[in-house]
Amino acid sequence: MKRIATLISTSLIAASLTCCGQSVTPQKAKDVGSVFLKDTVPNNLSKYSQATLASGCFWHEQTLFESIKGVVCVVPGYAGGGKTWPKYEDVEKGTTGHAETVDIYYDSSKVSFGTLLDVYFDAMADPTQVNGQGVDEGTQYRSIIFSHSPNQKRLAQEHIDALNKSGKYQKPIAAQVMPFTLFWPAEDAHQHYLNVHTTEPYVVKSINEIARYQAAHASLIKPGHDFAK
């Protein structure tokens, strides 16, 4: 993602600030970002439901899903490959087989797996893009739903089938459905990256994308975690 960030021109950043009428000021990004950093993570996550999703940059996905009501914790990391304890530098070369992934813990009495799938697909730049999202390209950015149960597998496949039949997209949905096996948390530097580095060009673009999604789905967003307001 560092390599990709250098490719984003000033004109693209400016466009991201005005597209669809959504603009997040630097101070707003900093203030809202700090709210995420103050969120308390429960000591016992085992009592919560779990969803594990890959969809491009895990910096973006962590902040997006942590803004959703009912989500208690989101951990960025790596899944889908064979190497144990993969490192970011290796994953970014596309040689480990892993995809950037987020492990989501949520209260199923407040938000359903189906709603998380709605967020997952609706917030994508292009759910038909193979091996990437937007300017992030490569197998490490591919889209995968890692199912934790037969029910999650069924719901994920039904969701994909419905999108394919909807006529909304000219190409088939690219997301794979795979059984969950192992998840490797990313290094500390990648935890809450968007909420700490709010002035970096890549982050500015991502925050504005999140804000546009939040503006269109305000009822799903936690108080204080809305970049759009």
pLDDT in tens, 101-110: 999 999 999 9
| Residue 36: strand, helix, or coil | helix
CB of 130 closer than 8 Å to CB of 142: yes
| Residue 178: strand, helix, or coil | strand
* Interaxial angle between packed helices 113-122 and 58-66, expressed in degrees from 0 to 180 and rounded to the nearest 10: 130
Protein fold of 47-194: Peptide Methionine Sulfoxide Reductase; Chain A (3.30.1060)
DSSP state for residue 221 in the 8-state scheme:
B
Which residues are tagged catalytic? 57
Between 19 and 123, residue with greater pLDDT: 123
Strand order in the sheet with 71-79: 176-179, 143-147, 49-55, 99-106, 71-79, 183-185
∠ CA 68-207-48, rounded to 5°: 25
**For residue 62, is pLDDT > 60?**
yes
CA dihedral 215, 135, 83, 190 (to 10 degrees): -50
Q: What is the pLDDT of residues 5-44, one digit of tens each?
A: 433 333 333 333 334 445 899 999 999 999 999 999 999 9
**For residue 113, is pLDDT > 80?**
yes
